[in-house]
Each structure stands twice: as structure tokens, then as C-alpha cells.
Amino acid sequence: MFNNKDKTQNKRFKTVDDYAGVLAVCCKIIVDTGRITNYLINIEDYTGGTTVLLDKDGNPMLSQIKL
């Protein structure tokens, strides 16, 4: 899914913002191009988590960026 060696397989997910190097925590916002949904990935050392970004009504945020 996130294969860095073969870029042809990474067509489903696109990194929108990357906040690496801030206090040893890496945060990325990625877009699922199949569903146009935004996700937040938080990575610290060997742990991390992924969550869908929600709007004020609790619905998944859809990407406003042209993919």
C-alpha cells in the first residue's frame, strides 16, 4: 500500500501535507484518491496512528484539492 520503492503502486494515496521533523513527531495528511477522503497519520518513534479527518458535522472531510 505504501511501497516507497515502486511508485507505480502508490496511485491510490497521495500526500497533501507533511510535517516531519517537528519535535521528533511526523504528521502527514494523505488523500485516498478512490474516495477523496482525508486522513491524518501521526508517527512518533515506532508507534503511530491513522484517523479520518472529520468536518464540524462529523462527516468525513472530502479533499478540495484537484487530484
pTM: 0.67
The distance from CA 42 to its chain's CA centroid, rounded to whole angstroms, is: 9
Instruction: Report pLDDT for 6.
Output: 60
Percent of the chain clearing pLDDT 90 (strictly above): 6
How far is the C-alpha of 7 from the C-alpha of 43, rounded, in Å? 21
Query: 63: pLDDT confidence band, cut at 50, 70 and 90?
Result: confident
State which residues form the domain around 26: 12-52
pLDDT tens sequence across 29-41: 888 888 888 898 8
Q: Which of 63, 40, 37, 43 is nearest to 51 (CA)?
A: 40
Mean pLDDT of the chain: 78
Domain count, the chain: 1
Domain-located, residue 63: no
In a domain, 65, yes or no: no
Asked whether residue 21 is assigned to any structural domain, the reply reads yes
Q: What's the pLDDT score for residue 16?
A: 84
The reply to whether 24 falls in a domain is yes
Does a structural domain hold residue 32? yes
Residue showing cell 517537528: 22
